[in-house]
A and B are shown apart, each in its own frame.
Chain A
Amino acid sequence: MPAADLDIQRLTALLVVEGGLLRLKWLAAATHFEIAMHRHMRALKYGYNSAQPRVPRGDPNGGQWTDGDANGNPVARSRTRLAGDVPTNDRPEIPKERPKTSGERVGWLKAAARMAAEQGVAAAELAKIYPWMTYYASGMQSYTDTPRSLEELQSATPGPGYDKHHIVEQSQAENEGYSREAIDSPDNLVVIPRMKHWEINQWYQTRNQDFGGETPREYLSGRSWSVKQSIGFDALKRFGVLKP
């Protein structure tokens, strides 16, 4: 295939990923907007009059109640739009600079890795657009791994972009009196993609309908090693790390 065709293909793929990231960013903004809408709905209940004009943006008193605008006319209300319909022509700025907090970095890395995995784009290509991601490229690349057998995961050596993961969570097991020998035994350790590790760790902490509203960690508290291990295997399978 001619080099020019490859370049076009690569560029197209990158634009798709960029579009996905923009969509996520737009959704984040939409969430803030919708929360504001709910405050607005609540205000309506307490006598708020949406027809009462306000001083337009740009004026030092912008946003304040008024009897009219600078010319004494009511201020026109702009059309609003709720999340759900993602506008395709919105182009908010993508964080090309390294986000300041680790929470933001992790969030954007996860979003980028998920998009890259969905679109089949290599992490190295993504790092060309977002240079700050270069440092994390190995972690983003490993996120695209296909599920592996238990033997493969247990015999792998942790390299860049991979972490050792305890199938039975180590902190809970330790608190419940299990020995370090059991916790760190080869049977309980697998080498998995770093961002999958992040996702699974977070899953253990988040409330879950199928555990009756408890987090998996709460559900497993005080349960036997074999139950903890079974849930640990299930998590690896459901997150696409371990072959079913």
Chain B
Amino acid sequence: MKRFDLKSLTVPQLVERFSALALGQFQAELFGKVRIYNRLYDDIVAVKDELKSRAGDQRSALVSLYTHANPQVRLLAAQWSLAVERGAARQVLQDISDRNIYPQAAYARQSLEALDRGESKLI
């Protein structure tokens, strides 16, 4: 199937798409739709890569999702912008972990531990 043409989208549209895909993952996790969750992973990475390829590395635009109402959106925005917004992104991950919001807290802890060990695949 032809992939969605991300090149034609503006940065705000890419951020909006990122948020919609993360919400889809949130719902998929809740209702046990593992295949959908895993398929959305590729779509999310594609948006992240597109943001990265834009002039000045626009992954920093994901900062606007750090205060999103949904924890999956916040988690993914923080994880995928760690490379460019390390301090602020780390704080978002720490907040999710501290508030014991599951399952996102478990994913956030894994990312934080990898960062502390200097083995993060996200930076």
Would you call B102 and A34 a contact (CB within 8 A)?
Answer: no
Interface residues of B (CB under 8 A from A): 4-5, 8-9, 13, 16-17, 19-20, 23-24, 26-27, 29-34, 37-38, 41, 45, 68-70, 73, 79-80, 99-103, 105-107, 109-111, 113-114, 120-122
Would you call B41 and A213 a contact (CB within 8 A)?
Answer: yes
Residues of chain B within 8 A of A202, CB atoms compared: 29, 32, 34, 103
CA distance A132 to B45 in the complex (A): 39
B96 nearest CB across to chain A (Å): 12
A150 nearest CB across to chain B (Å): 18
User: Which of B24, B41, B101, B107 is the one whose CB lies under 8 Å from A31?
Assistant: B24
Would you call B69 and A110 a contact (CB within 8 A)?
Answer: no
29 A–B contact pairs at CB < 8 A?
A27-B69, A28-B27, A34-B19, A34-B23, A35-B20, A38-B17, A38-B20, A45-B8, A82-B16, A84-B68, A86-B69, A107-B32, A111-B30, A117-B102, A199-B103, A206-B38, A207-B38, A209-B122, A210-B107, A210-B121, A210-B122, A234-B110, A235-B106, A237-B109, A238-B106, A238-B109, A238-B110, A239-B106, A240-B105
Do A83 and B70 contact each other (CB < 8 Å), given the known contacts A118-B101, A206-B29, A213-B45?
Answer: yes
Residues of chain B within 8 A of A82, CB atoms compared: 16
Besides A83-B69, A206-B38, A238-B107, 4 more A-B contacts (Cβ < 8 Å) are: A23-B69, A83-B70, A114-B102, A210-B111
Residues of chain A within 8 A of B9, CB atoms compared: 41
B111 nearest CB across to chain A (Å): 6
Would you call A27 and B38 a contact (CB within 8 A)?
Answer: no
User: Which of B26, B33, B69, B105 is the one whose CB lies under 8 Å from A85?
Assistant: B69
CA distance A182 to B37 in the complex (A): 32
Asked if A179 lies at the interface with its beta carbon under 8 angstroms from chain B, I say no
Would you call A31 and B20 a contact (CB within 8 A)?
Answer: yes
Residues of chain B within 8 A of A104, CB atoms compared: 31
Residues of chain B within 8 A of A209, CB atoms compared: 79-80, 111, 121-122
Would you call B105 and A238 a contact (CB within 8 A)?
Answer: yes
Q: In the complex, which residue of chain B has the Cβ closest to the Cβ of A42?
A: B4
CA distance A98 to B23 in the complex (A): 25
Do A239 and B30 contact each other (CB < 8 Å), given the known contacts A206-B37, A213-B45?
Answer: no
Q: In the complex, which residue of chain A has the Cβ closest to the Cβ of B67?
A: A84
Would you call A207 and B41 a contact (CB within 8 A)?
Answer: yes
CA distance A233 to B102 in the complex (A): 17
Residues of chain A within 8 A of B34, CB atoms compared: 202, 205-206
Asked if A60 lies at the interface with its beta carbon under 8 angstroms from chain B, I say no
Q: In the complex, which residue of chain A has the Cβ closest to the Cβ of B103?
A: A199
Contact with B along A226-240 (1 / 0, CB 8 A): 000000001101111
CA distance A35 to B4 in the complex (A): 12
B89 nearest CB across to chain A (Å): 12
A49 nearest CB across to chain B (Å): 18
CA distance A37 to B23 in the complex (A): 14
Residues of chain A within 8 A of B121, CB atoms compared: 209-212
A181 nearest CB across to chain B (Å): 30
Asked if A124 lies at the interface with its beta carbon under 8 angstroms from chain B, I say no
A63 nearest CB across to chain B (Å): 23
User: Which of B19, B69, B70, B120 is the one whose CB lies under 8 Å from A210?
Assistant: B120
